[in-house]
Amino acid sequence: MVIKKWLPALASAAAILIQLLIASNGNHPQADADYYLYVSIAGGVIALMCAAASHLHKGFDKIWSFKAPFWTGVIVFFAILDILTEKFCILPAIYFPSPSRIFGAMVSDHALLAKCLGYSARLLLTGFFGGAIVGILTGIAVGFSKAADYWISPIIRILGPIPSTAWIPLVLISFPSAVSASAFLIGLAVWFPTTVMTSSGIKNISNSLFEVSSTLGAGYFYRIFKVGVPSAMPSMFIGLFNGVCSSFITLMTAEMIGAKYGIGWYVNWQKEMMSYSNVYAGLIIIAVLCSLLITLLFKVRDKVLVWQKGVIKW
């Protein structure tokens, strides 16, 4: 279907026409510039180039044909939002800003947003990697050592199911700064699922793999790191994925408790100022950040678990 590749470009054209031809409703506050129009034009140009490129390059054609309907949907969504807000003011103007105002908020607040993004990313990555590393190590210890299993498993069972944000009162007084406290909370949120999935992955390895490797001359540590860890990888990644998801939730909550900057803090602050276009701008940035991290995790997983291709689909 040739038309499918051109759909995003057509949708952009339609979005631009709607903006140019339909007069704005006076009841909806105007943005200080036609930011949505610029975004639509930029999007339309990119869509045109992609459609043209897909006719020239076979590999890209495959990707673009698959993605084109999705991007069409995104463009149509913003066009409908535009109609419901700026054009006819059907939705309450305070809570539902027009796309122009959302993009405008990103432009006017870009310096602060970038700073907040940096703070959030730092906090999230410190917490995530800290929690993931400690989680994997704990999981390996619990999976292989009977003593570790005896002492650590009950702790996991008692502490694990408590949402890490419930520790806020305790953590706030025991950590020197709000940043370290928040990083710890995120780490805790990642640690639990990673530990549980890693250790259960190791415990489920068929014993014959270990027996075979010992008859091939593998020592104790070689068996742990070259047999135990790789075969627990698939469930380790499930743990990490759950960890990423709960780390986002914890990040947003943690930033609302005395952080100086951060996307969660920004969204909360702007909400209190009743400035909803900035709230949405922040939310869009959070969504992009989270989905980027998850995509990255999936890419790493596909690389590491290439041997699973054709065995398990998830």
Residue 205 touches another protein, criterion: CB under 8 A: no
Question: Shortest Cβ distance from residue 238 to another protein (Å)?
Answer: 16
Site stretch for another protein (CB under 8 A), options 85-93, 117-125, 214-222, 287-295:
214-222
DSSP states along 15-37: HHHHHHHSPPPTTSPPPSS-HHH
By beta-carbon proximity to another protein, the closer residue of 70 and 225 is: 225
Nearer to another protein by Cβ, of 188 and 229: the residue is 229
Instruction: Select the residue interacting with another protein from 3, 215, 303, 313 (CB under 8 A).
Output: 215
Which of 2, 56, 158, 311 forms a contact with another protein (CB under 8 A)?
311
Interface pattern 159-198 for another protein (x via CB under 8 A): ----------------------------------------
Using CB under 8 A as the binding rule, whether residue 208 contacts another protein is answered as: yes
- Binding another protein by CB under 8 A: which of 3, 147, 217, 303? 217
Q: Of 225-244, which residues contact another protein (CB under 8 A)?
A: 226-227, 230-231, 233
Backbone angle region of 23, left / alpha / beta, with phi > 0 → left and psi within -120 to 50 → alpha = beta
Which lies closer to another protein via its Cβ, residue 60 or residue 307?
307
Q: Cite the DSSP H helix spans in the chain.
A: 2-21, 35-56, 58-82, 99-108, 110-144, 146-159, 168-174, 178-203, 207-215, 220-223, 229-254, 263-272, 276-304
Q: What gap in Å lies between CA 222 and CA 220, rounded to an integer?
A: 6
What's the rounded Cα separation, in Å, for the pair 161 and 171?
Answer: 17
Asked whether position 59 contacts another protein by CB under 8 A, the answer is no
Give the angle subtended at the CA of 66 by the CAs of 60 and 71, to the nearest 5°: 100
CB of 209 to another protein, least distance (A): 6
- Within 8 A by CB and 6+ apart from 32, the residues are 104, 108
Q: Which is nearer to another protein, 177 or 206 (CB)?
A: 206
Q: Is 212 in the site for another protein (CB under 8 A)?
A: yes
* In the complex, least distance from residue 20 CB atom to another protein, rounded to whole angstroms: 56
Q: Is 153 in the site for another protein (CB under 8 A)?
A: no
Q: CB–CB of 116/261 below 8 Å?
A: yes
- Considering only CA atoms, give the Rg of the chain: 25
- Using rule CB under 8 A, residue 310 touches another protein: yes
Q: Is 234:305 a contact under the CB 8 Å cutoff? A: yes
Q: Which of 57, 219, 274, 302 binds another protein (CB under 8 A)?
A: 219
Provide the minimum distance between the beta carbon of 307 and another protein in the complex, in angstroms, as a whole number.
Answer: 4
Q: Of the listed pieces 26-34, 38-46, 80-88, 221-229, which binds another protein according to CB under 8 A?
A: 221-229
Closest CA to 82 of 103, 107, 106, 100: 100
For another protein, the closer of residues 177 and 208 by Cβ is 208
Contacts with 153 (C-beta within 8 Å, 6 or more apart), sequence order: 142, 199
Specify burial of residue 36 (Cβ count, 10 A radius: 0-12, 13-18, 19+): buried
Q: How far is the CB of 241 from another protein (least distance, A)?
A: 19
Asked whether position 314 contacts another protein by CB under 8 A, the answer is no
Binding residues (CB under 8 A) for another protein: these are 206, 208-209, 211-219, 222, 226-227, 230-231, 233, 305, 307-311
